[in-house]
């Protein structure tokens, strides 16, 4: 199996200033095309460090992908070090990248400084991967080990995540062109509401009966549920697709409505699709989630097609005044109650004149809990054309995690409701 | 200078399923006590891989911190491998951790399984760092290299972030006890609104005049601004504090209100403090930020002390109906305009009866832009007791980044307004 190492370069990672999200993204994409990532490393902007750790990466894997260290300032030395490692004789200004740099400077209304112009200066021993979104081009270096028929590749990519992501498809294409990779087929089934251990018990018989080419991986995530990835390696794609499709047909009757989507979908994108396709509208009323449900929905482009708005009813006076929750309900049952959250959902639906609404009220912590309503208690209500339902969830976690998971539960129950899958 | 490597262990990192946030957190904490992190690596749950990469880490640094690979299932092998590396002769059940495991199982209403009980089984060659929040204890291993007077330490910590974070203070304490670390003093000054390049020009003279023991680092972040960290190594703390305090006294007149706080404060925590201390209340009206401002404020515990609620006015009918924006204003100037956002702020303030309010309306992208109002345009309004101000911001980025930075700008202008620093 073709192997890869990922090496992120930059002091800002080693002093803990930024979280390295590039490695995870690249690892996932390599994995999808059947390349095994065997090592991930982060090193300082230091010549000896970069040389020694890249030597290690090159010795243990076919492919090395580096990100970072390509900025215009003097602390960024990756390009120079790579030129040295791969025996560059000279450098030249890459024409297309130079033009892009000029264009970027023009847009920003600044002159092309020497530092910026030199971003297009590349060692003669590399091929350039043009960066349309930034000044630093990507580069590919090749070497031909003595006793190995296939060349080894090293890709150097910019550290800015969206620039890196814009070049990565070209990287994957070059890898696929260079290596005769096993054909690979993945399909991911997304589930919500059943913990990993429970899920694995439920599908044990199905899992044991999977045909041998089909491999199953559990990918749990607190905010997006457990993803089940089915993979087939080394088989003809149409055959692999049939195997996986048959397996999924067997899975659906077991997990039923716990399955919310496939591959790159999310709870919010699924809700958005259903509402947009049905030309239905949504509003939200949030207490403990404090705007997180609305924020997740509106992070997706096109939210204005179905989302009219929301009320963050943090204070009880907002619940009673704006959402018309009966003060006696709060007096008698508390704000964290089925009765209150139902009135919140119905209130916001009427206020915003939408087809559906969702409401949350709970205790995110760290304080505010009691024996009867511990920290982690959440009431959710969903209201539709002719009915409103409520449901209680109890989680254990810290405040931020609780709020994030509260919002996932709310989105999931909303999904079930609008699909008529929950009574 | 004392050095450290961090090694995260687990297949889930190498397949890109999770982003490694532990390394960044640990690196930052080590950095604070004057330890230089020279290498960060992620390896698979594989004996040979763990052994070889830990050997590398141990050879290049005084301290190694590993996280992960301590779960109860058979794929987690870190504890066994560490026992082998450090020549364990036997294992034993650690009493306090066993009791915690029993307690955790009791709370979850489950029997203590063999797998769970064995989580307290540790090699005899380590010292245990009790994990009060989970089943897997932390461990410390020591070795005494032949030609080195100081022992080398390896800490193995659980991979679950909040469990790791709960044990880390004990790790730092043991490191400080073991090594005669240089005394170190840090103070971080938080700024918002001036890009790194502009900031560095503004403070160039001040920076050049800094006394030599004071080191300056720029830590830019799109959502929280540029942080300036002043550090003094190897000096008596009271002297270091005086040097830094004098330097900051010189910085304040230059950066003035661009400085929003110190150390671990955030834009939202600063706003929360000022409002809570002044017993003032806040409401928000959000269009393009879609709940993100409210969500950031309510992620902090204690938000109910000052935050009454918000309206996510995504649809123009919500702006006119609920917030009482004049439909003619939207007709004439558009929803993304000073006029509209001022009426939104005043509308929500009246609706929620608060002392202050903040409103946003803009174009997050990718669509919806025009020549006059390109994607990235944001109008913010802040309303107080006797006046309302509005301000325009233009950013360039992708939708999610724009929304995040829009919310930061809104929080920053709110801060300036409530501190009477903006006219």
Mean pLDDT, residues B211-218 taken together? 90
| ipTM of predicted assembly, 2 dp | 0.88
Q: How high is the pLDDT of residue A114?
A: 87
DSSP B142-205: EE--TT-SSPEEEEEE-SSHHHHHHHHHHHHHHHHHHS-PPPEEEEEEEE-SS-HHHHHHHTHH
B312: helix, strand or coil: strand
pLDDT at residue B148 above 80?
no
CB contact under 8 A, A15 and B37: yes
pLDDT for res B107: 77
Rounded to an integer, what distance in angstroms lies between the CA atom of residue B268 and that of residue B307?
11
- Residue A326: partners with Cβ closer than 8 Å, 6 or more residues away: A320, A343
* 8 Å CB contact of B312 and A309: yes
Q: Taking residues B314-334, what's their average pLDDT?
A: 97
A363 contacts: CB under 8 Å, gap ≥ 6: A288, A336, A369, A373, A374, A375, A376, A377, A378
Q: Which two tokens stand for residue A40?
A: 């991930």
Tell me which of A226-240, B242-256, B266-280 is least confident.
A226-240
Given this model, what pLDDT does residue B106 score?
85
What pLDDT, on the 0 to 100 scale, is given for residue B219? 82
Both tokens assigned to B316: 């123009």
The verdict on a CB contact (< 8 Å) between B295 and A291 is yes
Query: In this model, does residue A242 exceed pLDDT 90?
Result: yes
CB contact under 8 A, B315 and A299: no
To the nearest whole Å, the CA of A193 is away from the closest chain B CA by 17
Mean pLDDT, residues A57-63: 95
Question: What's the farthest any 2 CA atoms get from each other in chain A?
Answer: 83
pLDDT band at A223 (very low <50, low <70, confident <90, very high): confident
Judged against a pLDDT cut of 80, whether residue A38 lies above it is answered with yes
B293 and A290 in contact by Cβ < 8 A?
Answer: no
Residue among A16, A297, A312 minimizing CB distance to B25: A16
Q: What is the pLDDT of residues A132-151, one digit of tens each?
A: 988 999 999 999 887 777 78
A72-85 pLDDT per residue, tens: 877 789 999 999 99
Q: What is the pLDDT of residue B398?
A: 86
Q: How many CB atoms lie within 10 A of CB B13?
A: 26
- Indicate yes or no: CB of B13 within 8 angstroms of CB of A294: no
Average pLDDT in chain B:
93
Range of weakest confidence among B210-214, B232-236, B391-395: B232-236
Nearest to A309 among B42, B219, B318 (CB): B318
Chain B partners of A132 at a C-beta cutoff of 8 Å? Answer: none
pLDDT for B393 equals 93
Kindly state the average pLDDT of the residues A91-116. 89
Using the 8-state DSSP alphabet, how is residue B114 labeled? H
Residues forming a β-bridge with B379: B361, B392
The predicted model gives B196-200 an average pLDDT of 83
Are A309 and B313 a contacting pair at CB < 8 A?
yes
The answer to whether the Cβ–Cβ distance between A16 and B38 falls below 8 Å is no
Given B28, B291, B309, which is nearest A15 (Cβ)?
B28
**Residue A338 contacts residue A267 (beta carbons within 8 Å):** no
d(CA B45, CA B57): 16
Tracing tokens 């963050």 back to the chain, one arrives at A312
pLDDT tens sequence across B23-59: 999 999 998 898 999 999 999 999 999 999 999 999 9
Chain A residues in contact with B14 by the CB 8 A cut-off are 27, 37-40
Q: Where are the alpha helices (DSSP H) in B183-266?
A: 196-202, 204-208, 237-255
SS3 B88: coil
Tell me if B214 sits within 8 A of B243, measured CB to CB: yes
Instruction: Give the chain A residue whose CA is nearest to the CA of B394.
Output: A108
Q: What is the pLDDT of residue A182?
A: 82
pLDDT at B423 over 60: no
Q: How far is CA B22 from the centre of its chain?
A: 11
Q: In the structure, what pLDDT confidence band is assigned to residue B422 with cuts at 50, 70 and 90? A: low
Query: Does position A391 have pLDDT exceeding 90, yes or no?
Result: yes
CA distance B184 to chain A (A): 15
CA closest to A305 among chain B residues: B315
Cβ distance A290 to B298 less than 8 Å, yes or no, reads yes
CB A418 within 8 A of CB A271: yes
Examine residue B396 and say whether the peptide bond preceding it is cis (omega within 30 degrees of 0).
no
Give B12's contacts in chain A (Cβ within 8 Å).
219
pLDDT band at A422 (very low <50, low <70, confident <90, very high): low
pLDDT of residue A423 exceeding 60: no
Q: Which residues pair with A300 in a beta bridge?
A: none
Q: How far apart are CA B82 and CA B68, in angstroms?
A: 12
Interchain CB distance below 8 Å, B318 and A308: yes
Strands B138-143 and B152-157: antiparallel
User: What mean pLDDT comes out for the span B383-393?
Assistant: 95
Chain A nearest CA to B16, separation (Å): 4
Quick one: pLDDT at residue B73? 75
Residue (of B244, B180, B187) closest to B219 by Cα position: B187
Six-digit token string for A133: 């979104």
The mean per-residue pLDDT over the stretch B177-200 comes to: 88
């Amino acid at each position: 199996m073709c192997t890869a190492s990922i090496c992120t370069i930059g002091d800002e990672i080693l002093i803990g200033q930024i979280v390295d999200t590039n490695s995870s993204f690249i690892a996932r994409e390599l994995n999808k095309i059947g390349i095994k990532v065997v090592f991930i490393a982060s090193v300082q902007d230091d010549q000896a460090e970069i040389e020694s750790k890249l030597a290690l990466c090159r010795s243990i894997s076919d492919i090395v992908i580096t990100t970072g260290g390509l900025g215009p300032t003097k602390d960024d030395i990756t390009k120079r070090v790579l030129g040295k490692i791969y025996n560059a004789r000279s450098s030249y200004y890459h024409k297309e990248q130079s033009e892009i740099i000029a264009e970027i400077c023009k847009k920003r209304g600044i002159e092309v400084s020497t530092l910026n112009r030199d971003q297009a200066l590349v060692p003669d021993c590399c091929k350039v991967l043009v960066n349309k979104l930034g000044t630093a081009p990507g580069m590919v270096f090749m070497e031909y080990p003595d006793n190995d028929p296939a060349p080894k590749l090293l890709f150097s990519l910019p550290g800015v995540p969206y620039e890196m992501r814009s070049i990565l498809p070209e990287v994957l294409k070059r890898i696929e062109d260079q290596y005769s990779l096993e054909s690979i087929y993945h399909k991911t089934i997304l589930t919500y509401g059943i913990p990993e251990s429970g899920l694995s018990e439920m599908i044990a018989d199905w899992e044991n009966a999977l045909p041998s080419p089909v491999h199953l991986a559990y990918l749990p995530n607190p905010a997006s549920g457990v993803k089940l990835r089915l993979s087939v390696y080394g088989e003809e794609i149409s055959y692999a697709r049939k195997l996986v499709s048959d397996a999924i047909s067997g899975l659906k009757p077991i997990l039923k409505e716990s399955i919310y989507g496939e591959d790159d979908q999310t709870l919010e994108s699924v809700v958005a699709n259903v509402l947009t396709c049905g030309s239905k509208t949504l509003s939200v009323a949030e207490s403990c989630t404090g705007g997180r449900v609305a924020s997740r929905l509106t992070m997706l482009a096109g939210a204005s097609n179905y989302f009219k708005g929301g009320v963050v009813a943090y204070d009880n006076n907002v619940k009673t005044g704006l959402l018309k929750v009966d003060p006696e309900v709060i007096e008698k049952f508390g704000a964290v109650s089925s009765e209150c959250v139902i009135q919140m959902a119905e209130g916001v639906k009427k206020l915003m004149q939408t087809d559906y609404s969702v409401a949350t009220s709970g205790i995110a912590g760290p304080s505010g809990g009691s024996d009867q309503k511990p920290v982690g208690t959440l009431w959710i209500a969903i209201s539709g054309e002719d009915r409103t339902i409520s449901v209680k969830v109890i989680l254990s976690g810290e405040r931020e995690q609780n709020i994030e998971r509260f919002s996932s539960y709310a989105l999931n129950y909303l999904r079930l409701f609008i699909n008529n899958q929950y009574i």
